[in-house]
């Protein structure tokens, strides 16, 4: 929780400083180990490239240094992108991703998937997302035609019905009758365009969920943790109308990993690999 608050504080301060500055070239974000080899050719055993989609405030290098090389070692072509960087702070040594409205980020994912398909000659990809990397791709899949290009969608700490973190959704609702809800949302969106979209009952989520939570033709796997301090309640990530729902503690009762640390959990790696290739699923070692 402290990490997220600190990220938002730093982001807001940086944006204020950047407003009067001349934009500079975006700071490079190196690919995580094992990812973004555009010469990689999928094999018959693993014909679909795996595209990794990071969470709010992260980048591809920050979110995937643990899982990416392990998925690569299992024989997959692995790709990752950093999306949603606010151009006002793109020059910073660390520019948090996912902070622009998710509709904009979905277009970046659309272009990246097309690039991966063109380079590898594959017909479809599998998506593996974490946090915002589970919600934003839904817009790509449902509104930008991405469902025709994706076979499997593995979601880590998803929030299909939003979050109640810190009582912010309740505060928004209470401020509505006073005419303060819209100004409050606009204030937050001024430095994090995606943040209000995560809240339970947001127009963004209501629009996506109007067609149901699962997407026809996509094989969904949802992985949640009971110790998620950012997706509140954690059950928001368990689909009501399809897919395979997994709670980490139902697999390994002593697994204490939370919203952030699941990105470095070997149990999660094996769950990823089992979901990518169910026919070759291996027992999970706790």
- Tokens coding 127: 């998506």
Residue pair 236/160 in contact by the 8 Å Cβ criterion: yes
Which pLDDT value is given to residue 4? 38
Q: Is 49 helix (H, G, I), strand (E, B) or coil?
A: coil
Which pLDDT value is given to residue 129? 98
12 within some domain: no
CA 44 remoteness from chain centre: 28
Residue 118, domain CATH = 3.40.50.1820
Q: What is the pLDDT of residues 50-65, one digit of tens each?
A: 999 999 999 999 999 9
279: how many CB neighbours lie within 10 A of its CB?
A: 5
Range of the domain at 53: 27-164+200-280
Beta strands in 30-181 (DSSP E): 50-53, 78-81, 125-130, 150-156
Per-chain mean pLDDT for the chain: 86
Which pLDDT value is given to residue 27? 55
94 within some domain: yes
**How sure is the predictor about 186, in pLDDT bands with cuts at 50, 70 and 90?**
low
**How sure is the predictor about 94, in pLDDT bands with cuts at 50, 70 and 90?**
confident
Q: What is the pLDDT of residues 127-163, one digit of tens each?
A: 999 999 999 999 999 999 999 999 999 999 999 999 9
271: how many CB neighbours lie within 10 A of its CB?
A: 23
205 within some domain: yes
233 within some domain: yes
Alpha-carbon dihedral angle through residues 56, 127, 121, 216, given to the nearest 10 degrees? -130
Q: What is the pLDDT of residues 21-31, one digit of tens each?
A: 333 445 568 99
Q: What is the pLDDT of residues 1-49, one digit of tens each?
A: 444 333 333 333 333 333 333 334 455 689 999 999 999 999 999 999 9
Q: What is the pLDDT of residues 63-78, one digit of tens each?
A: 999 999 999 999 999 9
Which segment of 105-109, 187-191, 224-228 scores lowest on mean pLDDT? 187-191
- Tokens coding 43: 């094999």
**How sure is the predictor about 90, in pLDDT bands with cuts at 50, 70 and 90?**
confident
184 within some domain: no
Which pLDDT value is given to residue 188? 57
150 within some domain: yes
Tokens 């990812």 belong to which residue? 35
Which pLDDT value is given to residue 17? 30
Number of domains in the chain: 1
pTM of this prediction? 0.85
Which pLDDT value is given to residue 127? 98
pLDDT at 168 over 50: no
249 within some domain: yes
39 within some domain: yes
């Amino acid at each position: 929780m402290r990490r997220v608050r600190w990220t938002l504080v730093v982001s807001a301060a940086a944006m204020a400083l950047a407003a009067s500055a001349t934009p500079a070239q975006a700071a490079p974000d190196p690919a995580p180990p094992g990812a973004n080899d555009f010469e990689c050719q999928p094999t018959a055993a693993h014909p679909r490239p795996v595209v990794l989609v990071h969470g709010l405030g992260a980048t591809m290098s920050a979110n995937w240094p643990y899982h990416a090389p392990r998925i690569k070692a299992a024989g997959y072509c692995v790709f990752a992108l950093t999306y949603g960087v606010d151009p006002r702070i793109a020059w910073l040594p660390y520019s948090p991703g996912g902070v622009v409205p998710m509709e904009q980020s979905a277009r970046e994912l659309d272009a990246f998937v097309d690039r991966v398909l063109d380079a590898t000659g594959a017909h479809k990809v599998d998506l593996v997302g974490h946090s915002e990397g589970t919600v934003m791709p839904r817009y790509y899949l449902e509104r930008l035609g991405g469902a025709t290009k994706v076979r499997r969608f593995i979601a880590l700490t998803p929030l299909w019905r939003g979050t109640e973190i810190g009582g912010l959704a309740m505060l928004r609702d209470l401020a509505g009758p006073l005419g303060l809800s819209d100004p409050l949302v606009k204030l937050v969106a001024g430095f994090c365009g995606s943040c209000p979209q995560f809240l339970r009952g947001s127009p963004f989520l209501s629009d996506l969920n109007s067609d149901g939570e699962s997407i026809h033709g996509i094989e969904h796997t949802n992985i949640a943790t009971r110790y998620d301090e950012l997706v509140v309640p954690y059950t928001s990530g368990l689909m009501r109308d399809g897919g395979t729902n997994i709670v980490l503690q139902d697999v390994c009762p002593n697994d204490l990993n939370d919203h952030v640390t699941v990105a470095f959990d070997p149990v999660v790696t094996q769950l990823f690999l089992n979901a990518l290739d169910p026919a070759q699923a291996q027992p999970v070692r706790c």
